[in-house]
Amino acid sequence: MRLLLPLLLAIALPLHAQKGGKNKPLIKLTDVEVATKEIVYKTTPQGELKLHVFSPKGEVQAAVLRPCVVFFFGGGWKSGSYLQFVPQAEYLASRGIVAISADYRILNVHKTTPDKAVEDAKSAIRWVRGHATELGIDPGKIIAGGGSAGGHLAACTALVSAYDAESDDKSISAKPNAMVLFNPAMNIATLFKQNVTAGNPMTPEIAEAITPNSFVSKDTPPAILFFGTADKLKAGGDEYVQKATALGVRAEMWTAADMPHSFFNGVPWIQVTARKMDEFLTSLGYLVGEPTIKLPENAPALKHEN
């Protein structure tokens, strides 16, 4: 095993600061109260993994099948928490989507490597689709989302065929119907060759097997990607968009001028990117109406690069 240098770890996405008690994020994107619950979706040798579910409040779930988004947090496959995507999950739930922020195995907690994180992400999508009825969701409208390493995992659920858990029901597809990717790591094999990726043991075979850009096809689901122009991972995003576009696959790239990795976590970019995410999902028919998110005064704009 070769120990790789910590690029993604050095630029890993920070957790939101907290106030007012456990599990309450500092930044809120909606004042609408939503319903919450936790579900164990997988038991691993290293412990249980949970889905943190945010749903429109007061509805009868069986009355309507809603789209569902599953978010994966960032942290270089080494650290991080589901709390990172609670603001986006709450907001989308307020708009009528069942939103989930998922746990997965990470090095600092579970002593595992990135391939196990990929396995868990695919298990999460399969579990959600397999339990669509009880969740009140449309199994044909599942969105995978995430940031940095979590964006990489979301892309892997759509593109990577390796690393299925033995306990998974393989008759259920782990492939989402759309992707929302915040500064994702898309070119792992290239980063491995440059010796500049996360501080996890990894082999060349694993690096290639979990490189989303190596597996883009005409069947790849539509995606929106967000990057700061100063982010070193943007080159992988550019490569993805070029490959997807050449195949006729929808892949939107939106950039924030001069912003670094993880820019979307703070004000005003968390509001700006969430609003653009809303517009993308509306264009797919997953949401209706105008975004309800309020932008800060004089909020900067994202640039559409393709």
- Mean of the pLDDT values across residues 138-149? 98
- Cis bond upstream, residue 221 (ω within 30): no
The whole-chain average pLDDT of the chain stands at 90
- 247 pLDDT above the threshold of 80: yes
Six-digit token string for 194: 């440059």
Neighbours of 297 (CB within 10 A): 6
Q: Which of 24-38, 63-77, 283-297 has the lowest mean pLDDT?
A: 24-38
CA-CA distance, 1 to 5, in Å (whole number)? 13
pLDDT band at 198 (very low <50, low <70, confident <90, very high): low
Report how far residue 206's alpha carbon sits from residue 188's, in angstroms, rounded to the nearest whole number.
9
**Residue 250: pLDDT above 80?**
yes
Q: Is the pLDDT of residue 126 over 80?
A: yes
| pLDDT-based confidence at residue 9 (cuts at 50, 70, 90) | very low
d(CA 73, CA 82): 6
Cβ atoms of 69 and 92 within 8 Å: the answer is: yes
Percent of the chain with pLDDT over 90: 83
CA-based nearest residue to 150, from 260, 69, 219: 69
CA count, 13 A, side-chain hemisphere, 141? 20
pLDDT at 280 over 60: yes
The Cα–Cα gap between 273 and 302 comes to 8
Among 274, 306, 268, which residue's Cα sits nearest to residue 291? 274
Residue 265 scores a pLDDT above 90: yes
Is the pTM here over 0.85, yes or no?
Answer: yes
Sign of CA pseudo-dihedral 202, 208, 209, 215: positive
Q: Is 195 exposed, middle or buried (0-12, 13-18, 19+ CB in 10 A)?
A: exposed
Task: List, for residues 24-68, the tens digit of each pLDDT value.
Answer: 456 999 999 999 999 999 999 999 999 999 999 875 444 679 999
- Identify the weakest region by mean pLDDT among 18-27, 106-115, 261-270: 18-27
CB-based contact 101:120 (threshold 8 Å): no
Rg over CA atoms, the chain: 18
Q: Do β-strands 178-182 and 223-228 pair in parallel, antiparallel, or remain unpaired?
A: parallel
pLDDT at res. 200: 63
Q: Please report the pLDDT score of residue 74 as a whole number.
A: 97
Domains along the sequence of the chain with CATH: 2-304 (3.40.50.1820)
